[in-house]
Structure 1
Amino acid sequence: MTQNPKAIVVRAFGGPEVLRLEDVALKPPGPGEVLVRHGAVGFNYIDVYQRKGAYPLPLPTGLGHEAAGTIEAVGEGVTDLRAGDRVATINAGLGAYADRRVVPADRLVKLPDELDDAAAAAVIFKGLTAQYLLRRTHAVKAGETVLVHAAAGGVGQILSRWAKALGAFVVGTAGSEEKCAAARAAGCDVAIDYSRSGWPEALLAATGGRKARVVYDSVGRDTFLHSLDLAEPFGLVVSYGAASGPAPDIAPELLNKKGCLFLTRPSVFPHNADPARLRANAADLFDAVARGHVVPEIGARFPLSEAADAHRAAEARATTGAILLMP
């Protein structure tokens, strides 16, 4: 272990400037734990919410839910992992914004040789999000129409490409014509710029009036009510993020009026809380990567010391694909 492991520490909620790189103390891994040297750290928009205090956390706190790297040491009782194994982690508690980290062994998945650290960090959290959305929240079938909001983003591109591989007709929205082009390149049959007025009507015109069997909405306030209008009767609206702000409250009766719709608000963490389920889901994801159904798209890389700039770029929606922090 290096003498001075480093990590991003948040001591007050606020803007990106509160992200400070500090020396931290790391104990050797205890029973059931593993020390991992990070090769790449993934950014997710939940990191912004937690930095701002929208999801309050005890201070001081670390940030980050996913990283990929190499095991340096294992604690007592860890028999299925060893030093030198390449692994990725998700849902091990906050603190992935670091060059090294001690984590529970049951929060790790082994990486296939063909997936390097950057690709793994770009895909593990976002890919497992897409995995449960496409496989468990709604099992997408060939011929169904799927609507993906923010289709040029990290999760959006994975959702679009994977849904297309499953045989769906994929409709995407994005915030500019450039991002719409990225969404089409990621598998969308139709991509509509939702920053323009009248975009829901333009979407229906482009699909010949076809509404979606399932709508995947990570945008929230700016799209949610439109999502209810764009789901087919008895369709499902999945609200799994709030990039533009929280979705507005609605009365249950509105779901009836919009076509007897179903509505859910899932999260990646409960779907991967069980270690065996986590590894099975990861195996499904890695198989999709091997088949080319999921392609890790890296939009930008920032040194770990410049995590604040990564957050600024994300909040400005200035990138497509995944943002990585490189220790």
Structure 2
Amino acid sequence: MRAIRLHSFGPAENLRLEELPEPVPAEGQVRVDVRVSGVHLIETRLRRGIAVGPHRPPELPITPGSEVAGVVGAVGPGVSADWLGRRVVVQLGDAGGYAEQALADESALYPIPDELADDVAVAAITTGTTAQGVLGVARLTERDAVLVMSAAGGLGSLFVQAAKAAGALVVGVAGGAAKVARVRALGADVAVDYSAADWPERVRTALAGREVGIVLDGVGGASGRQALELLGPGGRFLMYGWAAGEPTEITTRDLVERQLTATWAIGPNMVPPGGWRELTTRALREAARGRLVPTITRFPLDRAADAHAALEGRAAEGKVVLTV
């Protein structure tokens, strides 16, 4: 089978297409004949050998990729033959997804609804699951003015849709004219380009005196701090990432003097009583019903390096996937 391999840490060009033996499922496993693989920004950091939070650089060589959609082509001992030929989407763990075939535990499989495309299923299983969890923490209502950072991204685009569906006033912040247009098309009431030095003032002007009540921040760094400064008294700042390379700086004085609440929205506080599986099932159901519509940028498997470069250069919109 064809697979993308990483033999040394470094630039995107280190991702190479190679031929590997066909994997054989062990007890409790299936072999998925992959149609679509998901690509994450965190994988671009790990490719460089940079630790990201609890995620440590992998042992090399490795086939990156943590999620795939495809068809079950073989089952291991102890796995029901009923899975054979079924379309599934699965979270693999830390590796193995950038390939024509991947091994997965039976317990991790989710059947793909007939009306759901493979690439949308891949977007839903991780990005959609995370979005459902963060939105559960945010509890958006029609009374809120919500500012979404990186609003054309995989998570940001879902947050814009969800906030609009909740009846909130939505401010979407993205980089470049094309992405700003995309954010506006998603339903944002205000869409601004954060590459403009005066973007916070543009937000204030557009809101005409109304204050931002909630910020959903996946960017961090200086831009995240600018978003924090837009919050009115009693506002809530929800962080779910730092694409800029470092988290938004927040001090105790910010919280006390401006009566703000800051929350790291990823983790145990976003998980419902039914656990992660409940969130993922909900995300797949919402996608199948057309209420969760991810933006997707596609690259063929042999252009995995280009996919990484697009993510790192913020040139991709929404969820990035590899098609096999």
TM-score between the two structures when normalised by the length of structure 2: 0.89
SS in 1 for 2:83: coil
Q: Distance in 2 between matches of 1:245 and 1:110?
A: 35
Q: Distance in 1 between matches of 2:230 and 2:80?
A: 50
Deviations 1:274-319 (A, max 9, x none): 9x633321232233224432213223x2221110111122222223
Q: Distance in 2 between matches of 1:106 and 1:270?
A: 24
Alignment of 1:197-236 (within 5 A): 197-236=197-236
Q: Distance in 1 between matches of 2:268 and 2:49?
A: 19
Q: Distance in 2 between matches of 1:176 and 1:321?
A: 14
1:145–1:211 contact (8 Å) kept in structure 2 = yes
Aligned position for 1:103 = 104
Aligned position for 2:296 = 298
SS in 2 for 1:22: strand
TM-superposed CA distance for 1:270, in Å, is 9.0
Q: Distance in 1 between matches of 2:237 and 2:81?
A: 40
Q: Distance in 2 between matches of 1:121 and 1:303?
A: 15
2:222–2:248 contact (8 Å) kept in structure 1 = no
SS in 2 for 1:58: coil
1:7–1:23 contact (8 Å) kept in structure 2 = yes
TM-superposed CA distance for 1:174, in Å, is 0.7
Aligned position for 1:318 = 315
2:124–2:287 contact (8 Å) kept in structure 1 = no
Aligned position for 1:21 = 17
Alignment of 1:7-46 (within 5 A): 7-46=3-42
Q: Distance in 2 between matches of 1:191 and 1:163?
A: 14
The change in CA–CA distance for 1:279 and 1:321 in structure 2 (over 3 A counts) is same
Aligned position for 1:67 = 68
Sequence identity (%)? 38
Amino acid in structure 2 at the alignment position of 1:139: R
Q: Which runs of no fewer than 5 residues in structure 2 stay unpaired?
A: 52-56
The change in CA–CA distance for 1:292 and 1:209 in structure 2 (over 3 A counts) is farther
Q: Distance in 2 between matches of 1:262 and 1:17?
A: 42
Range that drifts further, 71-80 or 309-318:
71-80
Amino acid in structure 2 at the alignment position of 1:196: A
Amino acid in structure 1 at the alignment position of 2:196: R
Alignment of 1:1-327 (within 5 A): 5-55=1-51, 56-79=57-80, 82-90=83-91, 92-135=93-136, 137-257=137-257, 259-267=258-266, 277-299=275-297, 301-327=298-324
Amino acid in structure 2 at the alignment position of 1:8: I
Deviations 1:31-86 (A, max 9, x none): 22221111111122112111112222222233222221111122334359611121
Query: How many positions carry a matched residue from both structures?
Result: 319
TM-superposed CA distance for 1:11, in Å, is 1.6
SS in 2 for 1:222: helix
1:92–1:107 contact (8 Å) kept in structure 2 = no
2:3–2:17 contact (8 Å) kept in structure 1 = yes
Aligned position for 2:54 = none
TM-superposed CA distance for 1:88, in Å, is 0.9
2:150–2:218 contact (8 Å) kept in structure 1 = yes
Q: Distance in 1 between matches of 2:285 and 2:300?
A: 30
1:26–1:102 contact (8 Å) kept in structure 2 = no
Range that drifts further, 231-240 or 94-103:
231-240
TM-superposed CA distance for 1:269, in Å, is 9.3
SS in 1 for 2:158: helix
Q: Distance in 1 between matches of 2:267 and 2:48?
A: 21
Q: Distance in 2 between matches of 1:62 and 1:256?
A: 47
Q: Distance in 2 between matches of 1:39 and 1:228?
A: 40
Q: Distance in 2 between matches of 1:7 and 1:269?
A: 34
2:121–2:284 contact (8 Å) kept in structure 1 = no
Q: Distance in 2 between matches of 1:67 and 1:199?
A: 37
TM-superposed CA distance for 1:89, in Å, is 1.5
Deviations 1:81-106 (A, max 9, x none): 61112111225222211111111222
1:91–1:269 contact (8 Å) kept in structure 2 = no
Deviations 1:133-168 (A, max 9, x none): 112x22222332221111112221111112211222
1:128–1:268 contact (8 Å) kept in structure 2 = no
2:68–2:92 contact (8 Å) kept in structure 1 = no
Q: Which runs of no fewer than 5 residues in structure 1 stay unpaired?
A: none
Q: Distance in 2 between matches of 1:63 and 1:120?
A: 19
Range that drifts further, 189-198 or 243-252:
243-252
2:28–2:79 contact (8 Å) kept in structure 1 = yes
